[in-house]
Amino acid sequence: MALEITDANFEETVLKSEKPVMVDFWAAWCGPCRMVGPIIDDISKDYEGKAVVGKLDVDANQEFAAKYGVRNIPTVLIFQNGEVVGRQVGVAPKNTYADALDALL
């Protein structure tokens, strides 16, 4: 299961991570987000110990969604060394997300 990322733990979990980090910006009311959710959960299992994979509910945690210009959801951002190095807006197949992490490992 993907980590729950919040405004309160974002800096520690995402920006200070020594591993690549994938963050799924989503909301419960968003239909396409419900399609991406299980993919992100699979990725979190596949990359356990190699990358940090989490979800951030944009309704409850607006600070970092705004900071990174997330206007459409689902949006998945890839971070390395505290910087955004990848962005996928909308639903994509699992290999799109996996390839983004593989490029950083």
Query: C-alpha 80: how far from its chain's center?
Result: 12
Residue positions annotated with a catalytic role: 30, 33
Tokens of residue 2, six digits = 């993907």
The CA radius of gyration of the chain, in Å to the nearest whole number, is: 12
Please give the angle made by the CA atoms of 30, 71 and 97, to the nearest 5 degrees: 70
